[in-house]
C-alpha cells in the first residue's frame, strides 16, 4: 500500500511538473483537451438522441405494420380464408427489416405467416392471456436492441378471434447507429488533431512574445543592457513588453546615474587629498581639472578668472577637448553676445549655471565651436576668495541631460572645498 501511495505521489509530481513547466504547454493541452471533450460530449449526445429516435421510429413502424395487418386481414380471419391470409403475409415479407409477420388463432395455431403456414407455434402459452386483453389493445412483446415484437387482437371472440403479430428487426437502425458512431469517432479524431494544431498555433502566437521577453531577460543577465523587447501590438503582452522596456530604461538610467555619481564622488575624494597636500594654487587648480577630466570623465574641465578688457582668462584646464578654449572668447560685458554663456554668468552673479542642451540654441555664439567637440551638457560653479567671486570652474560632457541635482550637489561640494583651499 505504501509503495502504491509513493508511486501515485511520484506520478502526480511528474504530471504537475509537466503541466507547470510551460505556459505554451498549458495553453496547448487546455485548449486541445477542452475541444476534444466538447466534441466527444456532442457526439455522445447526438448518438443517444439518434438512437432514441431510430428505436422509437422502429417501434412506431412495427405498431403501424401490425395495425395495418390486423385491419387488412380481419375479414379473412372471420371467413377462415387461409390462402388469402397467406397472400397478405407474403406481401409483408418483402418489407425491410421484417423478421416475421404472422396471424395466430386464439388457440395458438399459426394461421398464416411470412414464409410459413399451418404450423403450430411454440407461443401458445405466451398468447394464452391475449384472449383476456381488451379489444384492439396493442401488446409489445419485446422491445430491445435487436428486435421489436408487437401483437394486436383482430377479434375478441374466443373461437373466431385471432392475433396479428409482427417481429421487426433493428438491423437497419443499428447499422445507421454504427455508422453514426464511427462517423463521430472519426470526426472527434479529426477535431482532436485540428484542435491541437489550432491550439498549438494560438499558443505559439500568444506566447512567442513572452518567450521574447524571456530571451531579453537572459541577454540582460549576460550584460547586454541595451537589449529591449520588441513591442508590435497593444494587447496585454504588448503592454507588458512596453512596461518591461520602461523598467529596463529606468534601471539603466539609475545605473548610469549611480555610476556617474560614484565617479564624480571619487574625483571629489581625490581632489580633497590634493587640496590637503598641494599648497601652490596654480598647481592645485590644474590638478583638480586633470582629475575631473580623467575620473568622471569630462571632455573638458577648466577654470577661468576675470582678466583684462572684461575677458575671461583660463588658468587651469584638462581633458581631450581643450582646443575649444582656443577658439571661443568669453566676455564679462553683459551687452555683448559672448557674455551669455554659463561661465560669464557665474562670474557676474556668483551662482552656478547649468545647460543640459548646450547645442540646442543654434544662434548662440558658442554653437559652431561646441558642435565640433560634441558638447551637450555644461555646468559652471563659482570659486570664492575673500567673499568675492574669484574664478569659475566649468565642466563639459558630450551626453545630453548629464547633470542631475545629485551631480550638481557633488560639484558644488567640490567647488566649496576648492574655495576653502584658496582662502
Domain borders along the chain are 19-209, 263-422
> Which of 133-137, 141-145, 401-405 has the least mean pLDDT?
133-137
Residue 16 pLDDT level (bands cut at 50, 70, 90): low
Q: Are 385 and 423 in contact (CB under 8 A)?
A: yes
Give the mean model confidence (pLDDT) for residues 327-336: 90
Confidence check: pLDDT of 351 > 90: yes
pLDDT in tens, 176-194: 989 988 888 888 788 878 8
> Which of 62-71, 193-202, 276-285 has the least mean pLDDT?
193-202
- Written as one string, the DSSP assignment of 37-90 is HHHHHHHHHHHHHHHHHHHHHHHHHHHHHHHHHHHHHHHHHHTT-HHHHHHHHH
User: Are the folds of 19-209 and 263-422 the same?
Assistant: yes
Confidence check: pLDDT of 304 > 50: yes
Query: Ranked by mean pLDDT, which of 113-117, 152-156, 305-309 comes out on top?
Result: 305-309
CATH number for the domain formed by residue range(s) 263-422: 3.30.450.40
Give the mean model confidence (pLDDT) for residues 404-410: 93
**The predicted structure's pLDDT at residue 157:** 54
**The predicted structure's pLDDT at residue 117:** 40
pLDDT in tens, 88-103: 888 888 888 888 888 8
> Which of 130-139, 144-153, 403-412 has the least mean pLDDT?
130-139
Mean model confidence pLDDT for the chain: 83
> Which of 20-24, 218-222, 371-375 has the least mean pLDDT?
20-24
Give the mean model confidence (pLDDT) for residues 190-214: 78
Cell numbers placing 70: 390486423
Q: Are 162 and 103 in contact (CB under 8 A)?
A: yes
Q: Are 302 and 354 in contact (CB under 8 A)?
A: no
- Who wins on pLDDT, 115 or 288? 288
- Written as one string, the DSSP assignment of 330-356 is -B--TTSGGG-SHHHHHHHHSS-EEES
Closest C-alpha to 318, from 348, 292, 336: 292
Give the mean model confidence (pLDDT) for residues 264-291: 93
Distance CA 46, CA 24 (A): 33
User: Of 3.30.540.10, 3.30.450.20, 3.30.160.620, 3.30.1540.10, which CATH number belongs to 19-209?
Assistant: 3.30.450.20
**The predicted structure's pLDDT at residue 3:** 60
Distance CA 381, CA 220 (A): 38
Residue 139 pLDDT level (bands cut at 50, 70, 90): confident
Confidence check: pLDDT of 227 > 70: yes
Confidence check: pLDDT of 129 > 60: no
- Who wins on pLDDT, 308 or 233? 308
The Cα diameter of the chain in Å comes to 154
- Strands of the 353-355 sheet, one edge to the other: 312-318, 300-306, 388-397, 377-385, 353-355
As a whole number of Å, the CA-based R_g of the chain is 52
Residue 158 pLDDT level (bands cut at 50, 70, 90): very low
pTM greater than 0.75:
no
**The predicted structure's pLDDT at residue 85:** 84
Contacts 24+ apart (CB under 8 A), 13-20: none
Distance CA 299, CA 352 (A): 19
Confidence check: pLDDT of 33 > 90: no
> Which of 43-47, 135-139, 165-169, 306-310 has the least mean pLDDT?
135-139
Counting Cα atoms < 13 Å in the Cβ hemisphere of 316 gives: 21
**The predicted structure's pLDDT at residue 163:** 85
Q: Are 88 and 69 in contact (CB under 8 A)?
A: yes
| Phi (first) and psi of residue 392, to 5 degrees | -135, 130
User: How are beta strands 312-318 and 139-143 bridged, if at all?
Assistant: unpaired
- Who wins on pLDDT, 160 or 422? 422
**The predicted structure's pLDDT at residue 13:** 67
Confidence check: pLDDT of 155 > 90: no
Distance CA 277, CA 289 (A): 16
**The predicted structure's pLDDT at residue 97:** 86
Residue 124 pLDDT level (bands cut at 50, 70, 90): very low
- Who wins on pLDDT, 147 or 252? 147
Distance CA 358, CA 63 (A): 103
Amino acid at each position: 500500500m505504501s509503495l502504491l501511495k509513493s508511486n501515485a505521489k511520484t506520478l502526480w509530481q511528474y504530471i504537475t511538473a509537466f503541466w507547470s513547466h510551460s505556459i505554451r504547454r498549458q495553453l496547448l493541452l487546455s485548449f486541445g483537451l477542452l475541444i476534444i471533450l466538447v466534441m466527444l460530449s456532442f457526439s455522445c449526445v447526438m448518438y443517444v438522441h439518434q438512437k432514441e429516435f431510430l428505436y422509437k421510429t422502429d417501434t412506431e413502424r412495427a405498431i403501424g405494420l401490425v395495425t395495418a395487418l390486423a385491419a387488412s386481414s380481419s375479414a379473412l380471419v372471420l371467413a377462415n380464408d387461409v390462402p388469402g391470409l397467406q397472400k397478405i403475409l407474403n406481401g409483408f415479407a418483402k418489407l425491410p427489416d421484417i423478421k416475421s409477420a404472422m396471424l395466430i388463432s386464439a388457440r395458438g395455431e399459426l394461421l398464416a405467416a411470412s414464409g410459413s403456414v399451418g404450423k403450430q407455434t411454440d407461443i401458445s402459452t405466451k398468447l394464452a392471456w391475449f384472449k383476456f386483453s381488451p379489444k384492439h389493445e396493442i401488446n409489445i412483446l419485446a422491445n430491445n436492441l435487436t428486435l421489436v415484437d408487437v401483437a394486436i387482437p383482430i377479434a375478441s371472440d374466443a373461437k373466431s378471434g385471432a392475433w396479428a403479430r409482427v417481429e421487426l428487426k433493428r438491423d437497419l437502425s443499428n447499422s445507421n447507429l454504427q455508422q453514426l458512431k464511427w462517423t463521430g469517432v472519426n470526426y472527434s479524431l479529426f477535431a482532436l488533431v485540428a484542435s491541437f494544431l489550432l491550439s498549438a498555433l494560438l499558443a505559439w502566437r500568444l506566447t512567442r512574445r513572452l518567450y521574447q521577453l524571456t530571451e531579453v531577460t537572459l541577454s540582460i543577465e549576460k550584460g547586454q543592457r541595451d537589449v529591449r523587447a520588441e513591442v508590435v501590438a497593444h494587447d496585454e503582452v504588448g503592454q507588458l513588453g512596453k512596461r518591461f522596456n520602461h523598467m529596463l530604461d529606468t534601471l539603466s538610467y539609475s545605473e548610469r546615474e549611480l555610476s556617474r555619481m560614484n565617479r564624480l564622488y571619487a574625483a571629489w575624494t581625490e581632489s580633497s587629498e590634493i587640496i590637503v597636500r598641494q599648497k601652490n594654487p596654480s598647481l592645485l587648480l590644474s590638478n583638480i581639472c586633470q582629475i575631473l577630466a580623467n575620473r568622471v570623465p569630462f571632455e573638458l574641465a577648466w577654470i577661468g578668472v576675470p582678466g583684462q578688457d572684461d575677458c575671461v582668462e583660463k588658468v587651469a584646464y584638462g581633458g581631450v577637448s581643450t582646443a575649444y578654449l582656443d577658439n571661443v572668447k568669453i566676455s564679462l560685458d553683459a551687452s555683448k553676445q559672448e557674455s551669455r554663456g554659463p561661465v560669464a554668468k557665474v562670474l557676474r552673479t556668483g551662482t552656478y549655471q547649468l545647460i543640459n542642451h548646450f547645442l540646442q540654441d543654434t544662434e548662440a555664439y558658442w554653437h559652431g565651436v561646441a558642435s565640433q567637440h560634441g558638447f551637450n551638457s555644461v555646468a559652471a560653479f563659482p570659486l570664492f576668495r575673500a567673499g568675492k567671486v574669484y574664478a569659475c570652474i566649468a565642466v563639459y560632457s558630450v551626453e545630453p541631460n548629464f547633470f542631475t541635482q545629485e551631480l550638481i550637489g557633488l560639484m558644488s561640494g567640490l567647488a566649496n572645498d576648492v574655495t576653502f583651499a584658496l582662502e
